[in-house]
Structure 1
Amino acid sequence: MKLDPSFIWTAFWQLLSAIPITLLITVVSVVVGFVIGIVVALIRIYKVPVLHPIAVAYVTFIRGTPMLTHLLLIYFGLPLIVDALAVKMGWSFRSSSIPMIGFAYISFSITSGAYMAEVIRSGLLAVNRGQLEAAYSIGMTTTQGLRRIVFPQALAASLPNLSNSVIGMLHGSTLAFTVSVVDINAKAQIVASTNWKFFEAYLAAAAIFWGLTFLIERLTAVIEKRIHVYHRGGVA
């Protein structure tokens, strides 16, 4: 078996068409997961009755089980729930109407939410509680204090970990092929199946993932720089 450098280039160009799907899965999962993470983090910090133990159990279970397991549980379990509710409520909607990528969105968002919750919680706890007390002293409500004072500082403290979470979701999106979603890795397998040059195809896929990861890291560095300038009172 000889390496075929020309096919790496050929595969690279063919794999570019799968980048939008991979990015879409990543962006949706990160955005929805971030929202879930904020809610769960606040529930845990303020120990909201009833919801607090549920939030703890959610984070513990998701972080303690593989991402692929979450996807398979959603893929096989969600249709049972949807169809049972449809029969009970008289809906015409059935689980067969859910697109395959929908299972990836739901599963990865749930997974992302648990990890984001811990990142956000650590960021919020890193902000001195006196900041919120100072907000109260000038007449702000808790919501205003969190939004205007605490969250911006927590975001700055959490940015490196948030960046790692985004990269983790980008790489984790490759699991979507198990539910027939054609992402970059799945496309590589399809491209290589015509001539069995899997090594070359996956080298091309690795190059694309490295490039996307590098862009995320550079974007994070730019954001960090602007945040630090802002905190120093400079002009970005």
Structure 2
Amino acid sequence: MKLDLSFIWTAFVSLLPAVPTTLKITAVSVLCGFAIGTSIALCRMYRVPVLHRIAAAYVTVIRGTPMLTHLMIIYVGLPLIVDGLAEHFGWSFRSVQIPMIGFAYLSFSITAGAYFSEVVRSGLLSVNKGQLEAAHAVGMTTPQALRRIVFPQAFAAALPNLSNSIIGMLHGSTLAFTVSVVDINAQAEIVATGNWKFFEAYLAAALLFWGLTIAIERLSALLEKRVTRYNRGGVA
């Protein structure tokens, strides 16, 4: 087999239109997952009645099952639920109206929530409890203390792990092709189908993902430096 270097560049250029889809899936899953994860972490840390047990079970189940399985369960199960409710209540909305990327958004957000909860929880645990007690002593409520004192420090401590989780979700977004979403990997397969140069096409996809990963690492390093300066009282 002879490597076609020129086709690698051709494939690379052809993959660029799929980058926004991959980034959208990653961004939505990360933002929603972070919100879910923060809520789960707080429920578990403060042992909210009933909810902390549900939260612990959620983390155990999601982390103990593959990401692709979550996607398949959502893809097959959600239409059954939506159509069942629509028929029962007489709604006009049906599952066929859900865009395919919507299944990826929901599934990956649920997956990300479990992993981000552990990242957030580790960051919160790294902050000395005495600081929260001191905040209470000067009249702050718990939400105020968390927002002003605990969360900024926890975020700085958790940032390296957050960066790793974001990269993991970027790479995990390649599973979206299983529900007919044309992401970078799916586009690589489409590009290679015409001439069977799959090696070159997937190599181009790998280079593109590598570039996106490096960009996330650089942005994370800059943010970590800025947050650390802020927490130490430097210029924000």
Q: TM-score range by the shorter chain?
A: over 0.9
Matched, 1:69 2:102: no
Offset of 1:231 from its aligned partner?
2.6
Q: Structure 2 matches for 1:112-191, cutoff 5 A? A: 112-191=112-191
The unaligned stretches of length 5 or more in structure 2 are none
- Aligned residue pairs: how many? 236
Q: How many angstroms apart in 2 are the aligned matches of 1:109 and 1:234?
A: 35
User: Does the aligned pair in 1 maintain the 2:153–2:231 contact within 8 Å?
Assistant: no
Moved more, 185-194 or 224-233: 224-233
| Counterparts of 2:158 and 2:132, CA distance in 1 | 18
Following superposition, the deviation at residue 83 of structure 1 comes to 0.8
Root-mean-square deviation (CA), in Å? 0.7
Deviation by residue 1:195-216 (Cα, 9 ceiling, x = unmatched): 0000000000000000000000
Q: Is the deviation greater in 168-177 or in 76-85?
A: 76-85
Counterpart contact for 2:152–2:231, Cα < 8 Å: no
Query: How far apart are the structure 1 equivalents of 2:52 and 2:226?
Result: 35
Q: Post-superposition, which runs of at least 4 consecutive aligned residues in structure 1 deviate over 4 A?
A: none
C-alpha displacement at 1:234, in angstroms?
Answer: 2.1
The aligned residue for residue 14 of structure 2 is: 14
TM-score by length of 1: 0.99
Is residue 126–residue 157 contact of structure 2 (8 Å, CA) maintained in 1?
A: yes
Q: Look up the equivalent residue of 1:30 and give its one-letter code.
A: V
Match of 1:36 in 2: 36
Give the secondary structure class of the aligned counterpart of 1:162: helix
Q: Distance in 1 between matches of 2:71 and 2:209?
A: 21
2:56 is the counterpart of 1:56: yes
Any unmatched runs of 5+ in structure 1? none
Question: CA offsets, 1:48-100, max 9 Å, x none?
Answer: 11111110110000000000000000000111111111111111111111000
Question: Which digits, 9 at most, give the CA deviation of each residue in 1:168-195, with x for residues without a partner?
Answer: 0000000000000000000000000000
Distance 2:17 2:119 in 1: 32
Shifted more, 52-61 versus 224-233: the winner is 224-233
TM-score scaled to structure 2, two decimals? Answer: 0.99
Q: Deviations over 1:214-233 (max 9, x none)?
A: 00000011011112222332
Counting aligned pairs with the same residue, the percent is: 75
- After the TM superposition, which of the residue ranges 209-218 and 131-140 deviates more from structure 2? 131-140
What is the rounded CA distance, in whole Å, between the counterparts of 1:148 and 1:206 in structure 2? 41
Per mean C-alpha deviation after superposition, the further-off stretch among 48-57 and 190-199 is 48-57
Q: Secondary structure at the match of 1:120?
A: helix
